[in-house]
Structure 1
């Protein structure tokens, strides 16, 4: 009974505090053919599923939606990118919305066509660079025979790439974003202070498959000083949210089929807070972002209407 009342209690506390924003968590459920789902939270710890898909995927050959990444632009528009398929697609999906309910026409953004042997384009992640006034999109791709593979198969030896855009109509030339000397996927850019950026990344080599940190002077890097892992193995899909003066790093502990989380103030020392967070089952690799209370109320109405 208490568990069912938690969202209501959190809302009453949240309203009393006068905040105008809530936290949303983009999501998908396997087998990734249904589309965009959203969780919400008033405190960044306890999450509730809206139990509705808000955008059915149409971009790409496989018409899947994995790893949906959302960022709100300076004009209030929400921008969404996602993985459209496991293999073969040389780009990612894109759509935008003012309210997360009504969406623009979906587009397929080809970012690796200049590399015809590219195996995949995985987990595009959005970041808005306030200094450059540009959106930065980073993703993982494998180009066989391009990098020393270590113990990885040639078709699983990823590096991170990026492009930038002011408007999602024109895009910069695709460039290498990160080569840490091992297969890397699922990277997330975090701005700490001006001229101080952190990068959460997944070491995808066997048997590691864990999360590490790197640091850089700008959103585009260069990122150096890759750390030892701060999680256990079999981890993927990190996302980061700032709560007061602390950062929470959420991640999918996929073998255990749960979401875990770490708390940090400096991205150097971490506290495991997995037992303090509550993420609904079935939730997969997304990003946390903010919306208004009114936008959440409209999402709740749309979800109730089905």
Structure 2
């Protein structure tokens, strides 16, 4: 198996603590596809009949292409909190795309000219001949994950719709803008992103909307909330007022309101509930008889 990139992402609100029968591995994209693919994510689960896992995710601003035993689809951005209930036994081979890959991948799936915003909150089934062939090959290859990833890589490389000069140019520009919003916490306003990119605010808004189906303001807010949730899980000493400032909020009240509106609970409640969940998982691990 290729070396793991990392076990969990900042957007996963309930990371696995090692005792769950749910496993998630992420693998980095190859260099030649790095402007199209963010990473591969490969979950498996085998739950007892009476157990259900609910995953809550603050989604990265990009599409996901997912093959599962019963279905395969391209999933748009969920602009609120993404949730999924897992039960029984299952697996998936997923690809988190780069933010700018939306229009090209839609064209590759037979939806040329379709606006990414019309896919958000929903999905597009892999119904083209190439999409069906990919689904069949992945299902036959699983659980050999290296082979599954190789099949995905070959499929992306063969999609000519993804590799024209114009498509690549705009995709790389959107990727650069989103990366800046993610990595530079001083980018707290759309005007600052536009200034750094050397374009007008209106041009920036059109470009991001046409590739992701969301506004640049939403992208900035999404990364601030991801970072805040990550810090609440990993740093028990940080004060909420300091945390709010560190992720770009002017004050704690605005941060608390935004966090609760998306996550469904206040930052303090989330921190406390995560701490209790972690402690319970550690206790179960330490007292396991297996």
Q: TM-score, normalised by structure 1?
A: 0.26
Structure possessing the higher relative contact order (Cα contacts under 8 Å, 6 or more residues apart): 2
Higher helix share: 2
Q: TM-score, normalised by structure 2?
A: 0.27
Higher strand share: 1
Pick the structure with greater CA Rg.
2
